[in-house]
Each structure stands twice: as structure tokens, then as C-alpha cells.
């Protein structure tokens, strides 16, 4: 069997379920179950990079930020530092649990977690239309006060009546720091955990200095860019459904086991995928195959080892 280079993007559901409180015990159990389902790739000798989401976790960090300021006047940390905090914490958890899984399976691999900065364009149009919700929900009075004090932008949320939540930009990733090093390390057999939460958003100023930005990069797009840059053979997105569907949860719902670029673009134009859910994942997979990747697969985290599941996305339909 050919040894492949594979990038696996763990969705939020792979680490924390929507109906859970978010305790470390819950997150470690979910992480263990997910890693058990992908360990067959290590058994087969493939070289693996793992990226991960951080939505619930970075949201909790931001709420701790708020509580610390309100109760104890502890200075709040900016969003880029919060993303870095989540990368370190989640990466540590994945690395530690994976070491235990490897031990149980009689496998030996080095594992390294990299806090990853991803470059975006500070003039990206996304900064003119921030849509990514972060942090806690406030009432209108508090949201207006924070907007005046900090320059934050708030939009109403459907999760609470009269609730307002801070929104930030979600710009396109254009470069990943240390990507060549990541490629060399994974080719040597080390499992790399990188680009967590879409990476820490930074830009290069007129003096070529690295500067932070208040933004959140889409995790799947950043993972697809990483996969393309290291010339991965396959790119996996693990989510909470076993297939991509068109007209999801409607009477005419249809699962897609195979999807080529032309049909994917047609369905995207027709609005057949959920704008805030599946459409960005399909677009990330298209980005990967359009940039030379062989195959993208979207599936449920518990179904990864069963190759009967999953939507396989390629440039052309395979024979």
C-alpha cells in the first residue's frame, strides 16, 4: 500500500458535542473516540497532520476574559491571543490522548503540536462585513456600551431574545508560517497537530513586521490550504454527518457519495448546501483538489474507519 500524506480537520463535534457542558472529561472522551476511529491510518503507515476547530473553546476563553474584567479588573486579552490559548490547550489534549491511543494500539510515532500563525490580507473584504460570532451574549444596553468603549461590532442573535453577540471578520487565509517545516516533519513520520482553529490571524505591515488582527479564520479553509501547501494526497473534514447532502433535512434530501468539481459548483450556485454549515466545507474541499490535491472526504468522525461512508470530492469522477 502506498504511504500517503493526509490532513485531517477535526470539527467541533469531534471534540465537544453540542449538548455537553464542555468539561475536560467530556472533551477528552470525545477526543479519544475520534482518535480511535482514525488510528487505522497510522496502522496503514500513512503520515498524518491533524488540525482542529476551536469554536466552543475560544468562546469560553472570551467569556472568562469578560468575567475576569468585570469581577477582578484583569486586563482582557485580544482575540489573537485567545486563539493561541485555544491552540495550545486543545493541541496538548489531542497530543496527550493520541499518545495513549498509540500505546494501546502498539504503535510508536513522535507527535508535535505547533502553535500556528496564518497570514491574511488586512484589506480582505470580510473586514467590512464581520459575521463570525464570538464570545458571550449581551443585552442591547451592554452591547452598545462595549461597542462604544472597545469599537466592537455586535449583531442580534437568535439564541436569546434581545440578545446581541460580538461578530468579527473571517478573512481568507493566504499563507501559513512554517508550512515547509510542517511538510518535512510529517514526511519523516511524525504526527503534526497544526493550524488549530483556523490559525492565529496575522498580517504583514509595511515594514514587513507581523501584526495581529481581530478575526477568526475558517478552520476548514485553513486546513485545506495547509493540505495543498504540503502536497497532501488526501484531505478529510470530520463533522457530525456521515455524508454531504443536498436539500438537507428537506423532503427531497439526497446524500452524495461522490462529487466532482463541476457538480459541486452547480449545487453551490443553486444554494443546495447550508450556507453556514456545509457550504464552507465543500468549498474548502474544492480549494484542495483545485490546488493539486487528489481527494477530499467529508464524513462523521465516528465513521472515518468505515470506508463505506463519506462523500468523496475529486476534480473528476473516479472510474
Quick: pLDDT tens for 146-176: 899 889 899 998 777 889 988 999 999 999 9
Phi, psi of 107 (to 5 degrees): -110, 150
- Rounded CA separation 290/153 (Å): 35
Domain assignment present for residue 309? The answer is yes
User: Which one from 5, 281, 295, 312 is the annotated catalytic residue?
Assistant: 281
Same domain, 270 and 149: no
**pTM exceeds cut of 0.75:** yes
Same domain, 161 and 100: no
Show which of 168, 198, 224 is a domain's final residue. Answer: 168
Domain assignment present for residue 319? The answer is no
| Range of the structural domain that residue 159 is part of | 130-168
Domain assignment present for residue 285? The answer is yes
Same domain, 301 and 228: yes
Query: For this structure, is 12 an active site residue?
Result: yes
Query: For this structure, is 29 an active site residue?
Result: no
Model confidence at 243: pLDDT above 90: yes
Domain assignment present for residue 21? The answer is yes
Same domain, 157 and 306: no
User: Which one from 219, 221, 272, 295 is the annotated catalytic residue?
Assistant: 219
- Can you give the pLDDT at residue 225? 98
- Using only the alpha carbons of the chain, give its radius of gyration: 20
Angle, CA of 100, 239 and 128, to the nearest 5° = 120
Residues 26-57 pLDDT 10s:
999 999 999 999 999 999 999 999 999 998 88
Model confidence at 319: pLDDT above 70: no
Mean pLDDT of the chain: 93
Same domain, 288 and 184: yes
Query: For this structure, is 281 an active site residue?
Result: yes
- Rounded CA separation 151/138 (Å): 15
* C-alpha to C-alpha distances, 135 to 80, 144, 167, 226, nearest whole angstrom: 13, 15, 9, 27
Same domain, 89 and 161: no
Only one residue has cell 468505515, namely 306
Beta strands 163-168; 153-157: pairing state: antiparallel
Total domains present in the chain: 2
What is the distance in angstroms between the CA of the first residue and the CA of the last residue of the chain?
A: 19
9 HSE (CA, 13 A, CB side): 33
Same domain, 23 and 92: yes
Query: Any idea what DSSP says for residue 303?
Result: G
Residues 271-284 pLDDT 10s:
999 877 899 999 99
Show which of 168, 191, 224 is a domain's final residue. Answer: 168
CA quadruple 225, 229, 235, 239: dihedral, nearest 10:
-30
Answer yes or no: are the C-beta atoms of 156 and 138 closer than 8 Å: no
User: Which one from 132, 136, 229, 303 is the annotated catalytic residue?
Assistant: 132
CATH number at residue 25: 3.40.1160.10
Amino acid at each position: 500500500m502506498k504511504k500517503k500524506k493526509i490532513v485531517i480537520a477535526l470539527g467541533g463535534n469531534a471534540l465537544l458535542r453540542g449538548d455537553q457542558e464542555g468539561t475536560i472529561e467530556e472533551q477528552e472522551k470525545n477526543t479519544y473516540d475520534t482518535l480511535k476511529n482514525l488510528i487505522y491510518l497510522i496502522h496503514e503507515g500513512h503520515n498524518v497532520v491533524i488540525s482542529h476547530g476551536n469554536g466552543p473553546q475560544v468562546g469560553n476563553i472570551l467569556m472568562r476574559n469578560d468575567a475576569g474584567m468585570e469581577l477582578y479588573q484583569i486586563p482582557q486579552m485580544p482575540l489573537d491571543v485567545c486563539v493561541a490559548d485555544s491552540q495550545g490547550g486543545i493541541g496538548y489534549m489531542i497530543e496527550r490522548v493520541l499518545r495513549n491511543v498509540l500505546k494501546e494500539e502498539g504503535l510508536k510515532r513522535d507527535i508535535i503540536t505547533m502553535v500556528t500563525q496564518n497570514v491574511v490580507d488586512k484589506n480582505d473584504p470580510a473586514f467590512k462585513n464581520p459575521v463570525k460570532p464570538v464570545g458571550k451574549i449581551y443585552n442591547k444596553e451592554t452591547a452598545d456600551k462595549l461597542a462604544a468603549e472597545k469599537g466592537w461590532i455586535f449583531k442580534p442573535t437568535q439564541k436569546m431574545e434581545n440578545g446581541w453577540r460580538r461578530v468579527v471578520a473571517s478573512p481568507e487565509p493566504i499563507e501559513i508560517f512554517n508550512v515547509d517545516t510542517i511538510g518535512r516533519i510529517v514526511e519523516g513520520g511524525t504526527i503534526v497537530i497544526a493550524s488549530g482553529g483556523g490559525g492565529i490571524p496575522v498580517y504583514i505591515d509595511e515594514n514587513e513586521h507581523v501584526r495581529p488582527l481581530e478575526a477568526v479564520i475558517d478552520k476548514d479553509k485553513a486546513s485545506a490550504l495547509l493540505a495543498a501547501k504540503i502536497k497532501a494526497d488526501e484531505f478529510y473534514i470530520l463533522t457530525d454527518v456521515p455524508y454531504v447532502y443536498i436539500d438537507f433535512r428537506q423532503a427531497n434530501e439526497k446524500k452524495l457519495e461522490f462529487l466532482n468539481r463541476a457538480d459541486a459548483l452547480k449545487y453551490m450556485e443553486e444554494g443546495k448546501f447550508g450556507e453556514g454549515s456545509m457550504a464552507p466545507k465543500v468549498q474548502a474541499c474544492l480549494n484542495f483538489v483545485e490546488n493539486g490535491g487528489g481527494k477530499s472526504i467529508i464524513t462523521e468522525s465516528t465513521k472515518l474507519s468505515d470506508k463505506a461512508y463519506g462523500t468523496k470530492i475529486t476534480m473528476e469522477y473516479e472510474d
